[in-house]
Structure 1
Amino acid sequence: MGNHIYTIGRELGSGGYTVAKLLAERLGIRLYDKELLAQAAKDSGFCEEIFENHDERPTNSFLYSLVMDTYTGGNYSAAPFLDMPLNHKVFLAQFDTIKKIASEESCVIVGRCADYALASNPDCLSIFVHADMDDRIRRVSKREDVTESKAKDMIQKRDKQRSSYYNYYTCKKWGDSRSYDLTLNTSKITPEACVDIILDFRKKMEQKK
């Protein structure tokens, strides 16, 4: 039996990160969120700031990629990557790091098209966490200490970024239940209950093999 990998996509304010954190703690395995960016930078030789600037954001500016490409290094600056836009290089570097991590350890990976990178891995369980908009607004408003109107704007902007990034690189639809093994609504159940369902789903997966 290989490593158990859990990828978690999430809407802003859905509590997806909380679910991921609780799942990792319950299983005693590592959680990769922002940590993935640091690891990808280390593996690729790129500056970590480049990964942060491109984190789950579609880069539409060719000029930006051209200018920032001056700062890249490592294998991804060599042919055939030399003429590739920077945002594509960053995605491929992150893609490789996700596959490397999955081959080395059981873990939980948040976002960053990890489900797509590991689509051929039979031990990967892909999950999407969502919630009703009113609940998301309340969570973001409280967490960021902003008005509900501002929280709604933040949600809409971040969801658009994440969906554009995911849809572009995976040719699937972000948030569509058919893009994942399991989708969970935290407006209906608690994050703790989500973890229970994920683990039960994993058990059923193993029984079917």
Structure 2
Amino acid sequence: MAGNTVITIGRQYGSGGREIGMRLAEELGIKCYDKELLNQAAKDSGICEELFEHHDEKPTNSFLYSLVMDTYSFGYSSAAFADMPINHKVFLAQFDAIKKLAQEESCVMVGRCADYALSDYEGAFSVFIHADLDKRIRRIATKYELSDSAAKDRIRKTDKQRASYYNYYTSKKWAEAAGYDLCLDSGVFGIDGCVEMIKKMLELKNRKI
């Protein structure tokens, strides 16, 4: 994907990672793909879009990671793919859509193991956004008009799902700093500050190249 820059954003729930991705994309004049990745994967694979929504970043306990990735090389029309559980089909279709988009355009991608899918691409830059739990509780409680207790429960449940999904389908550990090019605390730097820091780091990376 020579010439393309793809910023992948992993995020704790309530850290503002999606908003950061959208603002960053707007300032860079490129597209931001979040739920749109599901639409693209459904279109390319022919799998019903509702199934992508249902299995989106949800953990699984069936089969082995190695079996899934071995099957990936067989393609959608293979018998092996046809016999796979739907959650694996959904993941592999997303994996394929992420790689395809990266070859076609510069963009921002939020979640869905995009950093892992693009780990071999020189133009990829992986970011993880986090924040203190108290600040995330305030953000989610305000945004969805929830009690602090309900917001806390939603945060913990969502983070657990994202971690389980990521850890299962990749060879890395979700939220572990060593797995990303840049980790930012949105509770400290704010949304705008995180956007500016990512832009600065991209400039430094491109200068080094």
TM-score when normalising by structure 1: 0.91
1:77 deviates by 5.5
> Is the partner of 1:80 in helix, strand or coil?
helix
After the TM superposition, which residues 5-84 of structure 1 pair with which residues of structure 2 at under 5 Å, given as runs? 5-60=6-61, 76=76, 78-84=78-84
1:194 aligned onto 2:182: no
> Is the partner of 1:9 in helix, strand or coil?
strand
1:83 deviates by 2.3
Question: Alpha carbon RMSD of aligned pairs, Å?
Answer: 1.3
1:195 deviates by 1.2
> Is the partner of 2:79 in helix, strand or coil?
coil
CA distance in 2 between counterparts of 1:60 and 1:140 reads 29
Matched AA of 1:16:
G
Q: How many residues align?
A: 197
In structure 2, list runs of 5 or more residues that go unmatched.
64-74
After the TM superposition, which residues 112-151 of structure 1 pair with which residues of structure 2 at under 5 Å, given as runs? 112-151=112-151
1:154 aligned onto 2:154: yes
Deviation sequence 1:42-101 (CA, Å, 0-9, x none): 000000001001100013378xxxxxxxxxxxx635322122222111111100000000
CA distance in 2 between counterparts of 1:136 and 1:193 reads 17
After the TM superposition, which residues 91-110 of structure 1 pair with which residues of structure 2 at under 5 Å, given as runs? 91-110=91-110
> Is the partner of 2:128 in helix, strand or coil?
strand
Deviation sequence 1:114-163 (CA, Å, 0-9, x none): 00000000000000000000000000001111100000000000000000
Moved over 4 A (4+): none
1:183 aligned onto 2:183: yes
Partner residue of 1:71? none
- Same amino acid, percent of matched pairs: 58
In structure 1, list runs of 5 or more residues that go unmatched.
63-74
CA distance in 2 between counterparts of 1:19 and 1:58 reads 25
TM-score when normalising by structure 2: 0.91
